[in-house]
Chain A
Amino acid sequence: MYVEIKNINKHYGNFKATDNASFGIEKGKLVALLGPSGSGKTTILRMIAGLENPDEGEILIDGKVVNNIPASKRGIGFVFQSYALFRYMTVYDNVAFGLEIQKVPKDKIRERVLELIELVGLKGMEKRYPNQLSGGQRQRVAFARALAPNPTLLLLDEPFAAIDAKVRAELRTWLADMIHKVGITSIFVTHDQDEAVDVADDIIVTNKGRIEQHGTPREIYESPKTPFVAEFIGTSAKYENFGVLKGFSKEEKVHGALIRPEFVEVFKADNANIEPYLKYADDGVVESVTFRGNSVELGIDVKGLKLTALRSLERRKIEVGEKVKVLVYRLYTYDGDQVKIIENAELAGKETVKL
């Protein structure tokens, strides 16, 4: 583990910002701290940076406890949410600042700065001031500036928050590529699950100061460990009375289930291919059809449950009021803080081809 935090607690007044949080991050990974606002993700980042002190617990970087090492000596690069570019310095001087502090020889500084400016694709803009740059360009400068002194750990606080939605997607792939190219261990904070899934090698989900789950985006998505993660990642709806569906039975202690649209398959009643599965499928009535650009979102009433399903535009059209067959592949049941993935019992062992 390159970065490790152990049993960290942090209070602001009576507010518990971090509640016994522990995790480890492998060298070279790009990790997202994902959670809703107020979930303590930024606090954790700031504690790793040394901008805050934990009340209890240890923070280790490269095997060394850094709790008592000042922020500037931890070997980290930090990209602020607002970028905090030096407004009275040119792009060149911004990137060079950290190196000048370290008393690196002038020609070495020049070499490194120009290399970085080229790397982030801002060649020719060395003499510009921050207010002459676009939001995306500013972020690139902030990135280059953080990297200049060769940090071993890069921390980014909501790096895309200040950027237009249109440019954001493009910029985040760029940043992920850059980070992998440089090979630096990086942690970034975000409240946007798409961003985390898109960019990160690993995701750490935080909620109310606690670490909910740590895993690859796929693990987090496919096998959420807590009700919070199951609900926070992806879109889903809660159903208490899911036992009415064919292939599922509700145990006593289970509170309910979460069903994602992609778990629900809808067939037209006259679909010949469905014959073998017909007995596992429920009857439903289409209540709404909404165009979603790349698919159609269907609202279906199945035995009183209002399910949502997505349907490819390539398939036959379904109308409001139409009677359809509905198949639910799987769902997440929850009780207290436990989540279980329950596969449709009727389909077990059978090959289910999406039809």
Chain B
Amino acid sequence: MADTKRIKHAKQVRVIPGFGLTLGITIAMLSLLIIIPLASVLLYSFQLNPSEFWKLITAQNVINAFKASIICALIAALINSVFGLILAWVLVKYEFPGKRLLDGLIELPFALPTAVAGITLSKMYSNTGFPGSFFSSIGIDISYTHIGIVIALIFIGIPFTVRAVQPVLEKLDGQYEEAAYILGASRTKTFFKVIFPELFPSLLTGFGLALARGIGEYGSVIYISGNSAKNGTQVVSYVIMQKLERMDYASATAIALVLLIISFLLLFAVNIIQIRRSRRISVR
């Protein structure tokens, strides 16, 4: 097929008008409002020399903050994956009174301002609030500990996992399960061999989104975490804000750059999962 390389392709026809205009506006606005400001962060952090950069991001409190943010976000995203799966299952498979109310509530963390969620959770889980007083009476402190951070991140992340799994579960044909039952598979076996593999990519997507959100979270975390350098309960976003307040722009941008890279990698991974999934579906 030597000559196929020289095929000249005709210009694509776009019958629907407005391609150039809308693409232009989209790219212009995206660049002005999002890309250029973010690039400024890059620009500034590139002015730091590598050893300086390294020193800034390996300071003990920065390392601790990354540890706290990543570990707590991981734990919260895992918990959210379990509950997200259960909630999506219950909302799709069962009928019961109050179902629509439950369904509607899932989105609350998207709609509620993070600062409001933050102060409320902090108050609830302090040793004077409910259920914080109960937990402290059995010796578990939640506010101002890592557990508190995890709780805040569960609150923020739950819609991501539920809403990622729910539509896939809705489309999963009931006959699929019935076929497995007829073939004699047990209920648990049916779930793990037939249903779970179908849901896994979307669950992974939800997990990734919840994780990305959790690692960068600020408003809902900073009240319940207590932000103690000694106890290692400062999260990355808090540290960036602290550096900003002290006009330490070098540190702020260096840390922000690392955080940005982590976010982009996660976003990239999630997109790959989604593109692969849509390909698999279209092959069918």
Point out residues on A near B: beta carbons under 8 Å.
10-11, 14, 50-56, 71-72
Contact = CB atoms under 8 A, between A and B. Distances in A.
A50 B4 CA distance: 24
A53 B4 contact: no
Given A14-B1, A14-B4, A53 B15 contact: no
Residue of B4, B11, B12 with most chain A CB atoms under a 10 A cut-off: B4
Q: Which 8 A-B pairs have the closest CB atoms?
A: A53-B10, A55-B10, A11-B7, A14-B4, A53-B13, A71-B15, A52-B13, A51-B15
B246 interface: no
Contacts of B93: none
Residue of B4, B8, B10 with most chain A CB atoms under a 10 A cut-off: B10
Interface of B: 1, 4, 7-13, 15
Nearest to A53: B10
Contacts of B15: 50-51, 71-72
Contacts of A14: 1, 4, 7
A199 B1 CA distance: 40
B13 A55 contact: no
Nearest to B12: A53
A51 B11 CA distance: 11
A14 B8 CA distance: 11
A55 B11 CA distance: 8
A10 B4 contact: no
Contacts of A56: 8
Nearest to B4: A14
Contact of B9 (A11, A51, A71): A11
A10 B1 contact: no
B253 to A, nearest CB: 44
Nearest to A52: B13
B15 to A, nearest CB: 5
A161 B10 CA distance: 29
Contacts of B9: 11, 55
Given A50-B13, A50-B15, A55 B4 contact: no
A286 B224 CA distance: 89
